Structure 1
Amino acid sequence: MRMDEIGWHSVHGADFINEREHGAGDWVFLLIKSPCRIFADGEMRQFPAYTWILYTPDAYQKYGADGAEYYDDWMHFAPDAEEEALLRAMHIPLNTPVTLPKGTEISKLLREICFEFYSVHLHRLETTDLYFRLLFYRLHEQLVRVKAVPDAAPVKERLQQIRAFIFRKPFERFTAAQFADELNLSEADFLRQYEAENGSRFPDDLIHARMVFIAGQMKVYLAENQTVEEIAQLCGYAGEAEFSAEFARFIGKSPQAYLDALR
């Protein structure tokens, strides 16, 4: 990817308008962070804050303020053949305004790209290229969330990935609502489909992942002469009884029996 120029949080007056009759000559990603007007479907139309548009090099461009101060982030670039194919594979809309459900997330990412590109870091161009791909992966995730483009991975596969993710991060405070939102499901549907696909309940897997991790750490606790009560407290449990019951349920023996077997 060739980055030509990038700007973050540019500010213009209420009368701002920009028009490029024959395009910019390169690709332009524009995130408008204030209510705006953009030429679309043959006329100037109003759009809310955090609307973005990806212009191809020769596309007609006209956009501006909507009667108040105008803010935007922007990027002029040229993707290589592989990156252009990736954009099309993800069905990223071209020359079409899209309103983001979580625009601040994209603006923060553009800020990182801007600061990195203009830095003196040794690998600033390579890092900028990685950020560029991350930007469009995040855009695709938001497009999938609002069902503007098809999801590349079926729900079945995503549910399996979620279970694997839980076991990689056993002490993360995951919620069913969090994953349901990512999959565009109600919380009840997520829980039902999770169990049907993985053969285990989501709340149980949260505990199971934690117990597997703790079992793997038992040699360390033993070397430190930690008691079961101390281990329970260290792992966030209010009391030994609840910890011991959950450990035995998922590991097959009590924490004390597990420690004794390691001696």
Structure 2
Amino acid sequence: MITVTNCGHDSRHKTGFRIIRKTGVPNYILLLVKTDALFEIKGKMIVTEPNMAILFDKNTYTHYGSNMGFYNDDWIHFDFKDEPCLLDTLNIPFNQPVYLPFISHLSAYVRQLVQESNTPSKHKDAIKDTLMRTLLFSLDSQIALNRNASGDQKYITKMNQLRNEIHNTPQKKWSAQSMADYMNLSISYFQHLYKHFFKISCIQEVIQARILRAKFYLKTTDMSIRVIAELCGYDNELHFMRQFKKFEGITPSQYRSYSR
């Protein structure tokens, strides 16, 4: 089980804030830093930018604080009890700043951790363990996403927002041009970046999102194929049926029959 010994969400400190732990602490420390800050890394003080995470190993010297303005972070002290260290299976570096496209997602988990820590609950420890695992897996995924983005990292946050929007609203009249316009990129460069980031073309992404939504409706409702086609962004039932069979190998009606 992952044990959270202490944690804080959206902690704010005035100019001059400093933390120095000469011998560290006997547990892991994860910080999500939302402002400019100063961190001592390998004996040198460096200025870090907002939306940064840093994971300190156990018993490790730490020195950080505000850089001119106020300092704002989320923080967690945690360890592993009666199980192998999950961190050994992840690619989260120790004692090194990493910049994240979706730090707000991680911050939401910390907020829930703080709430669970301060609320009487029958399943408090299990909930905190689950939240902590989800946070670490999400952090690892964001680090991998940034690594894949390489020199095009400045586009990754907005590109992910676009991808989420595609899957949230597959019924919209998506086109490569409209997506490129959203990103303020030429259509050719946008298509190149999209495939580079997600290993799939933007149009294939739209089709997959529509098929996934259709499968959900087919499994969970008695709506007609025509209505489902419309709800998933298809202009006509025949086009939907052909595309569904191309990707799933069976017709929508057969899928409905097999999934019940």
Equivalent residue of 2:147, what SS? coil
CA distance in 1, matches of 2:88, 2:26: 19
RMSD of aligned residue pairs (Cα, Å): 3.7
CA distance in 2, matches of 1:51, 1:217: 41
What is the CA-CA distance between 1:41 and the residue it aligns to? 1.9
1:116 maps to: 116
The residue type equivalent to 1:112 in the other structure is: Q
Q: Does structure 1 residue 245 correspond to structure 2 residue 258?
A: no
What is the CA-CA distance between 1:254 and the residue it aligns to? 10
CA distance in 2, matches of 1:73, 1:20: 18
What is the CA-CA distance between 1:28 and the residue it aligns to? 1.4
Matches within 5 A, 1:78-117: 78-80=79-81, 82=83, 84=85, 86-117=86-117
The residue type equivalent to 2:126 in the other structure is: E
- Checking the alignment, whether the CA contact within 8 Å between 1:244 and 1:254 is kept in structure 2 is no
When Rg is computed on C-alpha atoms for both structures, the one with the higher figure is 1
2:193 maps to: 186
CA distance in 1, matches of 2:204, 2:32: 40
CA distance in 2, matches of 1:48, 1:251: 46
Alpha-carbon spacing, 1:212–1:70, altered in 2? closer, same or farther (3 Å): closer
What is the CA-CA distance between 1:235 and the residue it aligns to? 3.1
- Checking the alignment, whether the CA contact within 8 Å between 1:232 and 1:243 is kept in structure 2 is no
Map Cα deviations across residues 80-128 of structure 1 (whole Å, 9 max, x no partner).
36452x2122121112222223222221221111111221121011000
Equivalent residue of 2:119, what SS? coil
CA distance in 2, matches of 1:105, 1:52: 12
2:134 maps to: 134
Q: Does structure 1 residue 53 correspond to structure 2 residue 54?
A: yes
Alpha-carbon spacing, 1:254–1:120, altered in 2? closer, same or farther (3 Å): closer
TM-score (norm 2): 0.67
Matches within 5 A, 1:61-76: 61-76=62-77
What is the CA-CA distance between 1:13 and the residue it aligns to? 1.2
Map Cα deviations across residues 8-64 of structure 1 (whole Å, 9 max, x no partner).
112211011110101123221122221110110211111112222211221001111
The residue type equivalent to 2:98 in the other structure is: V
Q: How many residues align?
A: 212
Unpaired stretches in structure 2, ≥5 consecutive residues: 149-166, 180-191, 253-260
Equivalent residue of 2:29, what SS? strand
Alpha-carbon spacing, 1:210–1:250, altered in 2? closer, same or farther (3 Å): farther
1:166 maps to: none
